[in-house]
């Protein structure tokens, strides 16, 4: 999950916008985005775009000349994906509008420590959401710590078609382990 600046990637995402996907979730993802924006990010423009795309990272935000746009990979667009996952994704991506990347040495860090601290404050669901993501989708995700993102592999439809575990399984797993599921722990 990173701010996209590469022109080539912007063109691909622009193409993806012209290929809309229906939401398969039993709740409205745009309504979750609006609720998160209104509650935690009132300074963000009210017209943040939201698209489900079938390539690239798990989620990202593009900040361009017009309103920001959040892209969520199609792998999350599943009837069994819990609301908590989308709530976390929306909070995380909108947080990029508030907390600027930090130059650390010669590298621009999209997720400085202030970012992770702020996310912990506003997203109590983060460990549970990340547990669900890794337990259900981990077989098609690739951590890219240097790029500060999680890419979805082309084999995602195989994983997407499986039965998913629910949040109660993840709650139980989190009670039994101290395993770190969150990107901030890499």
Q: What is the pLDDT of residues 111-164, one digit of tens each?
A: 999 999 999 999 999 999 999 999 999 999 999 988 899 999 999 999 989 999
Q: Is 167 helix (H, G, I), strand (E, B) or coil?
A: helix
Is 2 within the bounds of a domain? no
**φ, ψ of residue 48 in degrees (nearest 5):** -65, 130
DSSP letter at 168? H
56 part of a folded domain = yes
Q: What is the structure's pLDDT at 105?
A: 86
Unique residue bearing structure tokens 């460990």: 127
Higher pLDDT, residue 177 or 32: 32
Contact between residue 36 and residue 87 where contact means Cβ atoms under 8 Å apart: yes
Q: Return the CATH number at 85.
A: 3.30.2010.10
* 3-state SS record for 102-135: EEECCEEECCCHHHHHHHHHHCCCHHHHHHHHHH
Paired with 73 in beta bridges are: 53
Q: Is position 1 within any domain? A: no
List of E strands, the chain = 49-53, 59-62, 69-73, 102-104, 107-109, 141-144, 149-152
What is the predicted pLDDT for the residue at 8? Answer: 73
Nearest to 92 by CA among 64, 66, 126, 65: 126
Instruction: Please compute the mean of the pLDDT values over residues 58-86 and round it to a whole number.
Output: 93
Note the pTM of the prediction, 2 decimals. 0.89
- What single-letter DSSP state applies at residue 12? H
Which residues have a Cβ under 8 Å from the Cβ of 177 and sit 6 or more positions away? Answer: none
Q: Which residues of 46-79 are buried (b: 16+ CB within 10 A; e: fewer)?
A: eebbbbbbebbbbbbbbeeeeebbbbbbbbbbbe
Residues 12-58 pLDDT 10s: 766 766 666 788 999 999 999 999 999 999 999 999 999 998 888 99
32 assigned to some structural domain: yes
The tokens for 92 are 């995380």
Return all residues near 80 (Cβ < 8 A) that are at least 6 apart: 136, 163, 164, 166
**Domain total of the chain:** 1
Domain region containing 54: 7-185
């Amino acid at each position: 999950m990173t701010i996209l600046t590469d022109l080539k990637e912007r063109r691909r995402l622009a193409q993806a916008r012209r290929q809309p996907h229906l939401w398969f979730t039993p709740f409205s993802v745009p309504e979750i985005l609006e609720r998160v924006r209104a509650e935690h990010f009132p300074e963000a423009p009210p017209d943040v775009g939201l698209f489900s795309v079938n390539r690239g990272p798990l989620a990202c935000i593009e900040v361009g000349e017009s309103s920001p746009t959040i892209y969520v990979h199609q792998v999350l667009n599943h009837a069994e994906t819990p609301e908590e996952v989308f709530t976390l994704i929306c909070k995380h991506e909108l947080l990029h509008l508030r907390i600027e990347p930090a130059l650390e040495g010669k590298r621009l860090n999209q997720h400085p420590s202030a970012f992770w601290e702020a996310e912990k404050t506003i997203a109590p669901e983060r460990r549970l959401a990340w547990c669900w993501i890794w337990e259900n989708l981990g077989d098609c995700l690739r951590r890219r710590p240097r790029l500060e993102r999680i890419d979805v592999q082309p084999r995602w439809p195989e994983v997407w078609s499986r039965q998913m575990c629910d949040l109660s399984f993840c709650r139980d797993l989190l009670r039994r382990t101290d395993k770190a599921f969150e990107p901030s722990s890499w």
